[in-house]
Amino acid sequence: MRDAQRSRTKFVCLVGLIGVLFVFALPSGAQRRVGTARSAAFETLAKRANQAREANRLDEAIELYRQALKLRPRWGEGWWYLATLLYERDRYADAAQAFQKAAELQPKAGAPWAMLGLCEFQLGRFDEALLHIQRGRQLGLVNNPELMRVLRYHEALLLLLKGDFETAQQNLDALAYDGASSEDLILALGLAVLRIPAVPRQIPPNSKEHELIRRAGWAELQAAQRNFTDAHREYARLAADYANVPNVQYAYGRYLLSRRDDEGALAAFQREIENSPENALARLQIAYIKLRSKEAAAGLKFAEEAVRLYPRSPLGHYLLGRLLLDVGQVARAIEELEVARNLAPEEPRIHFALARAYARANRKADAERARETFVRLNKQAEEAATRGLNRGEVIQEEKTDSTAPR
């Protein structure tokens, strides 16, 4: 069977090659007549395809676009329309191939890359999907807010699967703030705040897990939509009803921290540590609160424990470095901040903190280099934010940390 298939493939390729050679072997006048005939045939097919598409005769339009593209393979608009029709028919594998062609022919257009990513999501090719969705968003989607919302939601789901819960929650919160409130969005929010690497369709309906995730998502939906009275009530009930479930107290603490209730957040993070003694993130949140409240000495223990539990965390080394700097242990602070920089070289706040530490150590040249790097990376981050792109951050810092030291 394979030999027969290979023979057929070779035959088709040979016939195609003979056809090309035949055209070029024709006298120049005959070549022009053949070219004119092909062009006329293409124009007829393209017109019929557009008419069928506009009349919602999708299957007919798909076949006509395919025929037209055989005559003119570099017709970018044709690949785009073919791809969108195939996507409409849920033929994601074929649509992905067509969007790939459209993207290659229009590499600076964001929509084909973004739609390619959506197809890949449906096909389970999650790494490629995230790459292409983010590329499409970066290139821009002119006057298409609905597609932007769809992309933001799917990007959030892909980030959930990768374990980037913070960035996923940022995307989902933004959608909720804009008024979205679907059942899938609520479940996705619950997955994000509870730090569960899954997507809504993977949660068994009518299960205890579904109820927990939905309640967490509903509480976060209220917070994202600025219904803070409802959000506070729902988060408090969640924390009481699921007091010993991992990450519930952590989610409650994060909400309280966002509302500047440091005392309540500290208590929630302490409860999370009691429930999950190996939880490094709860310790980092406590260390951050202590740093922000100018209680660096009290925060050191938690930062050091977090780094021991999670040595590959740039956030842990960053916070430990900041706390060490505040208690006057400059040499150790520089060591920790340099580790953080090596783990997350694109994070501007690390370079900012390093500039301060180097200046304290009288390392003027190093301080200046760190300051320049901070300015460059911070500008890039602001430009990305202007374009509506999310990027992972070490921590949500105080706005007073937005200017590099001289």
- CB-based contacts of 228-237 (< 8 A; 24+ apart in sequence): 228/259, 231/255, 232/259
What tokens does 247 get? 């990450």
- pLDDT score recorded for residue 367: 97
Would you write out the chain's pLDDT as a tens digit for each of its 406 residues? 434 433 333 323 322 322 322 233 334 554 455 457 788 999 999 999 999 999 999 999 999 999 999 999 999 999 999 999 999 999 999 999 999 999 999 999 999 999 999 999 999 999 999 999 999 988 887 677 888 899 999 999 999 999 999 999 999 999 999 999 999 999 999 999 999 999 999 999 999 999 999 999 999 999 999 999 999 999 999 999 999 999 999 999 999 999 999 999 999 999 999 999 999 999 999 999 999 999 999 999 999 999 999 999 999 999 999 999 999 999 999 999 999 999 999 999 999 999 999 999 999 999 999 999 999 999 998 887 766 555 444 444 433 333 333 3
Q: Which CATH superfamily is domain 33-142 in?
A: Tetratricopeptide repeat domain (1.25.40.10)
Considering just the CA atoms, what is the radius of gyration of the chain in Å? 28
- pLDDT score recorded for residue 387: 60
What single string gives the DSSP state of each residue in 153-194? Answer: HHHHHHHHHHT-HHHHHHHHHHHHHTT---HHHHHHHHHHHH
Regarding pTM above 0.85, the answer is: no
DSSP 8-class letter at 204: P
Ordered by start, the domain boundaries in the chain are: 33-142
